[in-house]
Amino acid sequence: MKKVVLAGGSGFLGQALARSLLSDGCEVVIFSRGPSTERALGRFVPWDGQGLGEWKAELEGADALLNLTGRSVDCRYSKENRKLILNSRVDSTKVLGEAIRGCTDGPKVWLNSSTATLYKDRRGDLAPHDEGSQDFGSGFSVEVAQAWEKALGEPVIEGVRKVALRISIVLGKDGGAFPVMRRFAKLGLGGAQGPGSQWMSWLHIDDWVGVTRFLMEKDDLSGAVNLAAPEPVTNSVFMKGMRKCFAPLGIGLPAPSLAVHLGAVFLRTAPELVLKSRKVVSSVLEENGYRFKYPTLASALEDLSG
C-alpha cells in the first residue's frame, strides 16, 4: 500500500490504523470534518461527509479507501440523534461511491464500516453467528446497519472490491469503551452488568489494525466480514477478567438491569449497548488464514493492563 484514504479517520480506530500504515511508509490521507490537531496522524483534508468537494481528488491514485464516518452511538436514542446516526453513515457512504465512480484511477478496494450488532440477540449455548448467518435482529441499530450496508452495495463500480466491516467492541487504551470499563473496575464497579449472561464479542486494537490491513491486501475477499476475536465471552466472564486486572482486591459491585437503565438516563446513552447479547465470530478470517495476535480475552487484557 502506497496511499490509503481514511474517511472519518481522526478517531480511535482510524488513528491506530494510520499509525501502522505510516510506520510502513504509506501515505495516509484523513477526510475529517474537524481540523488536524498537533498529535493527529495523517494528512487531513476537510470534508462534510455529505456532498462532493475538492476532497474527491485525493481518491485518485489511492490503493485503498476505508470509511469510518459515523455519529457516535454512545448517546440517547432521541429522534434527532437517530437521524444523525443514520444519515452520517448512509450519506457518507453514498457520496464516497459517487466520488469513486468519477475517478480515473481510484482505489481498488473500498472497506466500509458496519456493525456486528446487526445479528439477532443470541444467548446460552447456541453457536455464534458468522458471516453465513441470516438471522438478523430488529430495532433501530439493526435498521442502521442494514441501510449502511445497502448504501455500500448499491453502486456498481467496476474493478472496485468492496468489504463491509461488521465491527464488534474494539479494546484499546486510547479510546472506545475500554477506558470507561477500566475506570469502573478501578472504582470497584466492575461487577456483571444486567443479567451477565449476555455475550460480548470483542477485538483487541492490534487485531483491528491487523484485520483491516489483511482485508485491504487480500484481493480475493469481498462482502461482509465480522471483525471479532474467535472467543466471545459472557458479560460476567468479561467483567471478571476486568476485575482481575484492574479492580482493588478483585472486588466489583454488579449493576442489575434496572440500574443499567437508570444509569443510561444520567449518562445520556442507550442501555442496549450493554444489555444486548452479541455472540459473533468470523469464519471468513479463519478460512483465509488470518492469525489473531490476541485470540483470547485473557491475552488481550494482559496486554492492555501492562
pLDDT in tens, 238-254: 999 999 999 988 889 88
Taking a C-beta distance cutoff of 8 angstroms, is the pair 110, 265 a contact? Answer: no
Closest CA to 238 of 194, 285, 292: 194
Q: How many CB atoms lie within 10 A of CB 272?
A: 16
Q: Which ranges in the chain belong to alpha helices (H)?
A: 12-23, 79-101, 140-153, 178-186, 205-217, 235-246, 257-267, 272-275, 283-287, 297-304
Closest CA to 186 of 225, 232, 244: 244
Taking a C-beta distance cutoff of 8 angstroms, is the pair 113, 269 a contact? Answer: no
- Domain-located, residue 113: yes
Q: How many CB atoms lie within 10 A of CB 17?
A: 24
Closest CA to 70 of 93, 96, 47: 93
- Given a cut of 80, whether residue 201 has pLDDT beyond it is yes
Distances (CA, A) of 250 to 2, 166, 240, 253, 259: 47, 33, 8, 10, 21
- Domain-located, residue 108: yes
- Domain-located, residue 298: no
- Domain-located, residue 105: yes
Cell numbers at 164, concatenated: 463491509
Query: Using 50, 70 and 90 to split pLDDT, how confident is the model at 267?
Result: low
Taking a C-beta distance cutoff of 8 angstroms, is the pair 256, 193 a contact? Answer: no
Closest CA to 212 of 3, 10, 16, 12: 16
- Domain-located, residue 197: no
Closest CA to 151 of 67, 208, 53: 67
Distances (CA, A) of 176 to 11, 72, 173, 202, 287: 9, 10, 8, 12, 28
pLDDT of residue 266: 65
- Domain-located, residue 177: no
What mean pLDDT is predicted for residues 257-280? 79
| CATH number for the domain harbouring residue 132 | 3.40.50.720
Global pTM value: 0.94
The Cα–Cα gap between 273 and 115 comes to: 12
How many distinct structural domains can be found in the chain?
Answer: 1
How are strands ordered across the β-sheet holding 27-32?
Answer: 43-46, 27-32, 3-7, 64-67, 109-115, 161-167, 223-227
Residue-number span of the structural domain to which 121 is assigned: 3-170+202-228+279-293
The Cα–Cα gap between 298 and 305 comes to: 10
Q: What is the mean pLDDT of the chain?
A: 94
List, for residues 110-163, the tens digit of each pLDDT value. 999 999 999 999 999 999 999 999 999 999 999 999 999 999 999 889 999 999
- Domain-located, residue 243: no
- Domain-located, residue 149: yes
pLDDT of residue 270: 74
The Cα–Cα gap between 306 and 287 comes to: 32
